[in-house]
Structures are given as structure tokens and as C-alpha cells.
Structure 1
Amino acid sequence: MIVVTGATGGLGGATVEHLLKRVPADQLGVSVRDTAKARHFADRGVRVRQGSYEDPAALRDSFAGAEQVLLVSGNDPAADLVALHRGAIDAAVEAGVRRILYTSQQGAVPGNPYRPSETHLATEAMLGDSGVAWTALRNAAYGSLDLVLGPWQRTGGIAGPLDGPVPYTDRADVAEATAAILAGARSFDGPVTLTASAAVTLDDLARIASGLIGRTVTRVVVDDEQWVAEQIANGVPEQPARLMLTWNQAARAGYFAGTDPLLAELLGREPRTVTDRLAAGIGTTA
């Protein structure tokens, strides 16, 4: 059995949907905070059990009988995520899980100024000490492009701190590849990197957007502290604003610049490009 945590979230839920195309439903389980929100999986034959990283006993029950578990990394900035991940790993080990997969982050290496990198590095180290086979999925940035670009369709500009090349990747592609790894016969040991095929800067994205809409989209570089101040003035709390700043600082330092062919290999096709995503999002979101 394969058990997926966070299955009512975006990445976890999409991964389960792809697994259902590859694995019989009675060989799948999900561990979720609110089982009512996973009713659509239960109705299709997936085993649904309540479990959260804050409740190791419930996790052990959720993981019972699983050969593989996908641990979707926590994202609460106020929580002790390393401790929560440790509890989830321990629960998987105690439940007899044979392989743990963990959603890590591209560029999770020492020195990366993007603060979540420290959590991912610590979690990968705990996995290495767990005595169980493990895979860390170092996913490239897969959030909505609007989170990076801002309201460019309305303003005609992309304003933000100095950045660097990033292989912005479609979440649906990451989910499909994750399902392929979970359901496939090939084992991946340790960290693997899943990225789109090309890394681009915000300057590149401005040029691509300009070509798509037929008018110039400008790229405006804003001083780091000025950008933080503008975010706060627009209602963003200082802590998340500074967290996002560290992401830009990591990008400009090249921590996210690399690409890897594994995602395309797992998909059996080229991943969606930023051009594809921008074109699909014009008039809506990207």
C-alpha cells in the first residue's frame, strides 16, 4: 500500500489523482487532518484515515500496512517543522514502512539563504538516519506564477528584487512525476531533483509576457528593503515579506539555477514551460 499525507492539499491531492490512474484504489491510503474533506477519495475506494504531524499515534494508524509513505512537507512558518517531520518519520518507521518519500526543495544545500532550506536539509538528514530507504523529491518552485510576477496583467510591469534564473515548474507535472516514482518499479535513493527543462529570470518572463500580449511588459528591479517596505505597506506582514526576500536572494545567488532531465523522463514528455503557463493564464491566473 502507498499512503499519501496532505492529500487534501494541492500537491498531495493531485498526486493521489495520478496514483489512481496507476494503482488500484484499494492499494492507496491517505492521511488527512479532516477525513470529511477526503470523502471523494473514500467514495472511490481509497483508505482514508485521520492523521496529522501533530499526532504521531494517529499517524502510525494512518501508515499501518503501508510499504511506501509520501510525507508532504509542512508549511506553517510558526511551527517547529523539523520536530513535526521527525515525528512523522518516526511514525513511519514504527509502522514498518519500507520507503519514505519526502517533498523537499530544489537547492536544499548548506548556505542557501532561503530559510526553508534549513528545514529540508534537517529533514533529509533525519531520513538518512532513519534506517529506512528514502527519497527526497527536491522540487523546483511550482507555485502559481502570479505569486512571483504580481499583478502584471493589470499594471504592465513585473516589479521585485533582483532575481536569478529559476526553472519554474508546473505543480501538475510534479504531482504526476511523484505518482510515477511511487508506483514505478525503479527505486530512487536519496535526493532527486524535479525541474522544468529551462531556467528563466524575471527579465525573461517579462519578454515572454510581452510577446504573448503584444505590448511591452516592463521589468522593474526594486531595492530589497524598499520592496519589503512596499509589501508591508500593501498589507503583507513583515515576516512573510522577508521570507520571500530570502527566496529572491537565493535565486540571484544561483541556488535555483540548475535544471534536471528527470522530470521529463518520468513524464515521458517535456514538462510545461513558463510560456505555456503564461499563455493559459492570460486573462485569468498563471
Structure 2
Amino acid sequence: MIVVTGATGHLGKLVVEGLLEKLPADQVVAAVRTPEKAAGLAERGVEVRRADYTDPESLVTAFKGADKVLLVSSSEVGKRVEQHEAVIEAAKQAGVGHLVYTSAPRATTSALVLAPEHKATEELIEASGLTATILRNNWYHENYADTIKQAAETGSFVGSAGDGRVAGAARADYAAAAVAVLTGEGHEGKVYELAGDTAYSYADLAAEVGKATGRETRYVDLPADEHAKALTEAGLPEPVAGFLVALDANTRDGLLAETTADLRTLIGRPATPIGVTVAEVAGTR
């Protein structure tokens, strides 16, 4: 039995769909904070169990009888370590045979602003004694969905990433990799650095938007302080603006630029090019 946490979230939902293409529905458990949101999965024969990262008892119950558990990292930045620790402890108590975790690129050594919580989680997993596989997912193309929509409407977008590049892939690619690990053999103890086949700059992203919309689209690079000001003037809270500017600084420094073969090897095909996602988001595909 395979349990997928966050099964109604963007990534978890795709993983469940991928598992259902390979396994009978009664071998898949959707672990979700709000079971009502997974009614559609229940109708298809998937067992739905309540699993709240802030409620350890719910996690132990959700993992009962599980051979494998996919821990999709929490979306609550700043609270991840505590929440992930609850999942890891519950997996131990439930006797889970194999834990798979979605981490971040080079999590244990990177200066990426998102890395510390993933580093701490990986260390907790190692200390737990659980058999595990770490999926270090690079950036999702879909993280730029709002940027793509804005650029398609206005013909430009701003940032402070300079010529930094992003070795991103589509969310569906990372989901397919998780499915391959959960249904395959020989992945125990492995750490996979998952990334797209080609790294792209923000200027490249603008060019793809232009290609999709048929209108010239520009990326306007700003100094970090001007970028932060533009974001707050657009209505973003200062902490959020600061976080986004820090991510662009990481991008400028090349922390998301590393391409690897791990993703395409696991999924058995090339990763999705950014242009495909741009066309989908811009509504031209």
C-alpha cells in the first residue's frame, strides 16, 4: 500500500493520478487534511484518510499498513521542520517500510533561501533509521504562472535575477519521478537531484512568452531594492516581497541552474521544456 500525503495539492494530486495508471485503486491511499476535498478520489476506489501535519495522531492512523509513504513537503514555509518531524515520527510508529521525501536542490549544502528547512528534514529522516529516498526537486515551471500571465497581458515583467538561469521542469515531471520511485525497485537510500534538461534565464522566459503570444515581451532587470519596492507597491506584504527578492538573488547566483540526468532517467523521457508550460499558462496551447 502506498500513501501519498498532500494528495489534493498540486503535486500530490498528480502523483495519485500517476499511481492509478499503474496500480489498482485499493493499493493507493490519499492522505489529506480535508477528506471532503478528495471525494472524487474516494468515488474511484482510493481510500481517503485524514492526515494533518499538525495532528500527529492523525498521521499515525493515516500511515497504518503502509509499505511506502510519499512525504510531500509542507507549503507552510517556517513551519516545515516541525510538521515534517511529525510525519517522520508517525512513519516510524506505523512501521512504514520506505519513506520518500520531496526536498530542494542540493539541500544540505546550498545557500538557497528555501534549503535550511529541507536540510533539517533530510537530517531528521537520516536520524530516524527509516529506509528513505530523497527527491530534490528543482524549480517548477508553474511557479512562474503569475509572471507568465502578467507578461502575456502587459508585454513585460520585472525581476532582479540578472542572467541567472533556472533548471526547471513541469510539476508533472516531478510527479512522474515520484511515481517511478514509489512503484519501482532499487531506489532505497538514494538521493536524486531532479532538474530539467535545459536551464533558462528570465530573458529566455520572456522570449517564450513572446513566442506564445505573438507580441514582443521583455524582462526588465532591476536592482534588488527597486525590485522589492515594485513588489510592495503592487500590493505584496514586505516579508513576501523580501522572500521573492531573495529567491531572485539565489537565481542570479546560479543556485537553481544545475541540470542533471536524474529526472529524465527516472521518467524515461526528456523533461518538459519551459515553452510548453508557457503556452499552456498563456492559453495558446
TM-score above 0.5, yes or no: yes
Partner residue, 1:134: 132
1:135-186 CA-to-partner distances (Å, cap 9, x unmatched) read 1111111134324446111221131112411112101111122111101123
Question: Which of residues 112, 117, 120 in structure 2 aligns to 1:119?
Answer: 117
Tell me how far apart the structure 2 counterparts of residues 134 and 99 of structure 1 sit (CA, whole Å): 5
Tell me how far apart the structure 2 counterparts of residues 270 and 204 of structure 1 sit (CA, whole Å): 19
1:202-240 CA-to-partner distances (Å, cap 9, x unmatched) read 122223333444443222111111111111111111111
Tell me how far apart the structure 1 counterparts of residues 261 and 65 of structure 2 sit (CA, whole Å): 33
Tell me how far apart the structure 2 counterparts of residues 232 and 206 of structure 1 sit (CA, whole Å): 22
Aligned Cα RMSD in Å?
1.8
Partner residue, 1:273: 273
Partner residue, 2:154: 155
Partner residue, 1:16: 16
Partner residue, 2:191: 191
Aligned to 2:166, the other structure's residue is in SS state: coil
Tell me how far apart the structure 2 counterparts of residues 147 and 107 of structure 1 sit (CA, whole Å): 26
CA contact under 8 A between 1:113 and 1:249: conserved in structure 2?
no
Tell me how far apart the structure 2 counterparts of residues 109 and 162 of structure 1 sit (CA, whole Å): 23
C-alpha change, 1:191 and 1:148, in structure 2 (3 Å) is farther
Letter aligned with residue 44 of structure 2: R
Q: How many angstroms does 1:188 deviate by?
A: 4.2
Query: 5+ unaligned residues in a row in structure 2: which ranges?
Result: none
Partner residue, 1:262: 262
Query: 5+ unaligned residues in a row in structure 1: which ranges?
Result: none
Tell me how far apart the structure 2 counterparts of residues 229 and 91 of structure 1 sit (CA, whole Å): 43
CA contact under 8 A between 2:6 and 2:12: conserved in structure 1?
yes
Q: How many angstroms does 1:30 deviate by?
A: 1.7
1:41-65 CA-to-partner distances (Å, cap 9, x unmatched) read 1112212111111111110010000
C-alpha change, 1:43 and 1:203, in structure 2 (3 Å) is same
Aligned to 2:229, the other structure's residue is in SS state: helix
CA contact under 8 A between 1:153 and 1:283: conserved in structure 2?
no
Aligned to 2:265, the other structure's residue is in SS state: helix
Aligned to 1:103, the other structure's residue is in SS state: strand
Tell me how far apart the structure 2 counterparts of residues 283 and 42 of structure 1 sit (CA, whole Å): 31
Aligned to 1:152, the other structure's residue is in SS state: helix
The correspondence of residues 9-88 of structure 1 with structure 2, limited to 5 A, is 9-77=9-77, 79-88=78-87
Letter aligned with residue 282 of structure 2: I
Aligned to 1:137, the other structure's residue is in SS state: strand
Letter aligned with residue 40 of structure 2: H
My pick for the range that moved more, 4-13 or 145-154, is: 145-154
Tell me how far apart the structure 1 counterparts of residues 144 and 231 of structure 2 sit (CA, whole Å): 18
Letter aligned with residue 134 of structure 1: A
My pick for the range that moved more, 7-16 or 43-52, is: 43-52
Aligned identity (percent) is: 35
CA contact under 8 A between 1:139 and 1:194: conserved in structure 2?
yes
Aligned to 2:128, the other structure's residue is in SS state: coil
Q: TM-score, normalised by structure 2?
A: 0.93
